[in-house]
Amino acid sequence: MLSSYKSFHYIEDIHKYVGEEVTLRGWVYNLTGKGKLQFIMLRDGTGVIQCVVFKANVSEEAFENAKSLTQESSLSLTGKVVSNEKAPGGFEIDVTNLQIIQLAQEYPITPKDHGDSFLIEHRHLWLRSSRQHAIMRVRAAVMKAIRDFFDGNGFKLMDSPILTPNACEGTSTLFETEYFDLGKAYLSQSGQLYAEATALALGKVYTFGPAFRAERSKTRKHLTEFWMVEPEMAFFDLNDDMDLAEDLVEYIVQYCLKTCQKELQTLERDTTKLEKVRRPFHRMSYSDAVDWLVENKIPLNKKIDGKDVEILPFPWGEDFGSPQEEAIMEQFDKPMIIHRYPTEIKAFYMKRDPINPKVVLAMDMLGPERAGELIGGSQREDNFDLLLERIKHEDLPEDEFKWYLDLRRYGSVPHSGFGLGVERTVKWITGATHIREVIPFPRMIYRITP
């Protein structure tokens, strides 16, 4: 497809050219040499291949060029593809010509151990390392799986605005900016409210984009800018919503297992648990989860007057944190959906359970292996009066929600949706230890560069 303007080959295609001459362009990943032989590990973004420069096979100038190479120098080389079981990847290149594009200065990242802060400061270069490279490829696969899943199931992609006049997920995590003569604008915490409007226009939609939370949490699971996909469906109730969430997560995981074997191997990811991620997942109500925490004497950790206090038994009505989520999930290999959370700890737009208005028709999907919350979603309040009451109760600016309330004035229907955090999902699938490793350029409270 790309052949009309491609005058060189990619390492990932090299198995097709055994015995033939190819031209590769890339960077020096590693170098060794002795006497008349130089070994270049060449990377080109699609893979790494060993290139053998034998003095007798190349011009003197080309051999001198090969000897002068440094880590991460860029070059173009030509040579014959040969099978070699001993070479990493099973193929190598017998080089016949070699040109330096740029001779790199001393590269700051070497195979020795660097500290975390050094690596994150050099994120623009760290992305070239094999682990980071593998994680980014899995990330791209997760993004593709998400789009394929929704596009293939009749959903329409509806972009939601980033600059918004109001909060969606509580007012405490808003990034604020001046907006001309119109007062304050906020970076979107979620595209959901707009997704609801487009769902009532198009039936089944999804928004897919960045979300922003000025969250003061310095955890391994929080970014201030992250990517979220948010499907929204007219006429779906909470059960339909949970079914869809399970289908999506199963699809993403199985797609990655199928297409990212090499990457998961590079990451030394034990995939046996991922293979078990098949529907149906586990489901449990919030109240049953609290009973389990009480029975198992899992405390609530709270800060009171700046001190960490453990409260036992776990009181109904409190939100779960990582310790509770991880304790619950330790027993399971596949994700679990917890549903029907207390009204008071959940967002204003969630529909109260008609059977018990103390809880809302909300659901969170928790991942196994300490993945934490992958998904948050709910059936939405579709009754005008009840929604207005919640907006007032939460002290939200009624005026800014006028358009949102219109959706309950003109042809209101039951509808539901959820948001899946891309980085939480990639972190889980890759087994990365910190969320900052699964987005090209992470934004955290203490870092905005590079």
Positions 300 through 339 that interact with ligand 4AD (CB under 6 A): none
Between strands 415-421 and 372-379, the pairing is antiparallel
**Residue of 79, 376, 421, 442 interacting with Mg ion (CB under 5 A):** 376
Q: Is there binding between residue 374 and ligand 4AD (CB under 6 A)?
A: yes
| Segment interacting with Mg ion (CB under 5 A) among 42-50, 100-108, 114-122, 376-384 | 376-384
Q: State the minimum distance, in angstroms, from the CB of residue 399 to ligand 4AD.
A: 21
The contact mask relative to ligand 4AD for 140-169 (x = CB under 6 A, - = no) is ----------------------------xx
Q: Show contacts with ligand 4AD in window 213-242 (CB under 6 A).
A: 213, 215, 222-223, 226, 228, 230
Q: How far is the CB of 23 from ligand 4AD (least distance, A)?
A: 42
In whole angstroms, the minimum distance from the beta carbon of 26 to ligand 4AD comes to 33
By CB under 5 A, residue 191 contacts Mg ion: no
Judged by beta carbon distances under 5 to 8 A according to partner kind, the member of ligand 4AD, Mg ion, none in contact with residue 44 is none
In the shown chain, the binding pattern of residues 254 to 283 toward Mg ion, with x for contact by CB under 5 A and - for none, equals ------------------------------
Cβ–Cβ contacts within 10 Å for residue 368, how many? 21
Report DSSP letters for 393-433, one per residue. Answer: HTT--GGGGHHHHHTTTSS---EEEEEEEHHHHHHHHHT-S
Map residues 172-201 to x or -, x wherever contact with ligand 4AD holds by CB under 6 A: ------------------x-x---------
Q: Does 442 bind ligand 4AD (CB under 6 A)?
A: no
Nearest-CA neighbor of 280 among 315, 249, 252?
249
CA of 177: how far to CAs of 161, 167, 227, in Å? 15, 13, 20
Cα 406 vs. chain centroid, distance in angstroms? 33
Q: Among all residues, whose Cβ is closest to Mg ion?
A: 376
- CA 47 – CA 133 distance, rounded (Å): 10
Q: Which of 255, 199, 185, 187 shows the shortest CA–CA distance to 230?
A: 199
Q: What is the C-alpha separation between 340 and 357, in angstroms, rounded? A: 10
252 close to 142: Cβ distance less than 8 angstroms: yes
Part of the chain binding ligand 4AD (CB under 6 A), chosen from 159-167, 289-297, 328-336, 419-427 = 419-427
Number of helices and strands (H, E) in the chain?
A: 13, 20
What are the angstrom distances between the C-alpha of 59 and each of 95, 97, 166, 200? 11, 7, 67, 69
By CB under 5 A, tell whether 419 contacts Mg ion: no
Which of the listed partners (ligand 4AD, Mg ion, none) does 169 bind, with a CB threshold of 5 to 8 Å by partner kind? ligand 4AD
Q: What is the DSSP string of 194-263?
A: HHHHHHHHHSEEEEEEEEE------STT--SEEEEEEEEEET--HHHHHHHHHHHHHHHHHHHHHH-HHH
* DSSP run (H or E) holding 101: strand 91-102
Rounded to an integer, what distance in angstroms lies between the CA atom of residue 37 and that of residue 33?
6
| Contact of residue 375 among ligand 4AD, Mg ion, none (CB under 5-8 Å per partner type) | ligand 4AD
Q: Is residue 376 a contact point for ligand 4AD (CB under 6 A)?
A: yes
In this structure, the number of other CB atoms found within 10 A of the CB of residue 326 comes to: 17
Least distance to ligand 4AD, CB of residue 174, Å: 13
- Minimum CB distance to ligand 4AD, residue 51 (Å): 40
Stretch that binds ligand 4AD, among 108-116, 145-153, 318-326, 413-421 (CB under 6 A): 413-421
Max intra-chain CA distance, the chain: 85
**Complex with Mg ion: residue 42 or 329, whichever CB lies closer:** 329
Do the beta carbons of residue 24 and residue 76 sit within 8 Å?
A: yes
Q: Provide the minimum distance between the beta carbon of 322 and ligand 4AD in the complex, in angstroms, as a whole number.
A: 13
**Positions that interact with ligand 4AD (CB under 6 A):** 168-169, 190, 192, 213, 215, 222-223, 226, 228, 230, 373-378, 417-419, 421, 423-424
